[in-house]
């Protein structure tokens, strides 16, 4: 598995061999949300970095999933429409949300690596 990158909004990104990037929410995020009951997936279109691309609804709250970088959504995970619980069961695998083509392929490398993300979580836990 290629190295994951992370955002401060608790999304993970994995660069794929074809140049696309797969996005999902982290185990930390799904744990904070609780049982996911609905996922609204993004449209197949371009989004600006920071735009709300998807929505996750849980028994506790609704939360946005934000576009981590400028880019065009190429594919969404249709399994989440019928089985939103995949976000809880396998957040880094079958619970992925969408794949996109970043406007700048090098921008993925500038996001948080695992160590930086672990420090972010620890800092949030300490607050």
- Note the pLDDT of residue 80: 97
125 found inside a domain: no
State yes or no: pLDDT of 127 exceeds 80.
no
Instruction: Dump pLDDT digits (tens) for 72-123.
Output: 999 999 999 999 999 999 999 999 999 999 999 899 999 999 999 999 999 9
61 found inside a domain: yes
127 found inside a domain: no
DSSP 71-101: EEEEEE-THHHH-TTHHHH-TTTTT--EEEE
126 found inside a domain: no
Q: What is the CATH number of the domain that holds 95?
A: 2.40.50.100
What is the Cα–Cα distance from 41 to 112, expressed in whole angstroms? Answer: 24
**DSSP reduced 3-state for 67:** coil
Confidence of residue 124 (pLDDT cuts 50, 70, 90): confident
65 found inside a domain: yes
Q: Where are the alpha helices (DSSP H) in 1-127?
A: 27-33, 79-82, 86-89, 114-126
Residue 15 in contact with residue 21, Cβ under 8 Å?
A: yes
- Note the pLDDT of residue 1: 38
- Note the pLDDT of residue 3: 84
42 found inside a domain: yes
Q: What global pTM score does this model have?
A: 0.93
- Note the pLDDT of residue 126: 79
For 12-39, what is the mean pLDDT?
Answer: 96
**Phi, psi (degrees; rounded to nearest 5) at 29:** -65, -45
Instruction: Dump pLDDT digits (tens) for 30-85.
Output: 999 999 999 999 999 999 999 999 999 999 989 999 999 999 999 999 999 999 99
Domain residues for the domain of 85 are 4-103+112-120
Confidence of residue 125 (pLDDT cuts 50, 70, 90): confident
Residue 117 in contact with residue 9, Cβ under 8 Å?
A: no
76 found inside a domain: yes
Domain count, the chain: 1
């Amino acid at each position: 598995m290629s190295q994951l990158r992370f955002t401060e909004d608790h999304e993970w990104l994995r660069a794929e061999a074809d140049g696309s990037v797969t996005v999902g929410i982290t185990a930390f995020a799904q744990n904070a949300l609780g049982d996911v009951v609905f996922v609204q997936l993004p449209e197949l279109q371009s989004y600006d970095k920071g735009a709300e691309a998807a929505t996750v609804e849980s028994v506790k709250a609704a939360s946005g999933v934000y576009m981590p970088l400028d880019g065009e959504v190429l594919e969404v995970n249709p399994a989440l429409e019928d089985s939103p619980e995949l976000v809880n069961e396998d957040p880094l695998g079958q619970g992925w949300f969408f794949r996109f083509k970043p406007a700048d392929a090098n921008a993925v490398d500038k996001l948080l690596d695992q160590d930086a993300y672990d420090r972010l979580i620890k800092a949030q836990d300490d607050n």
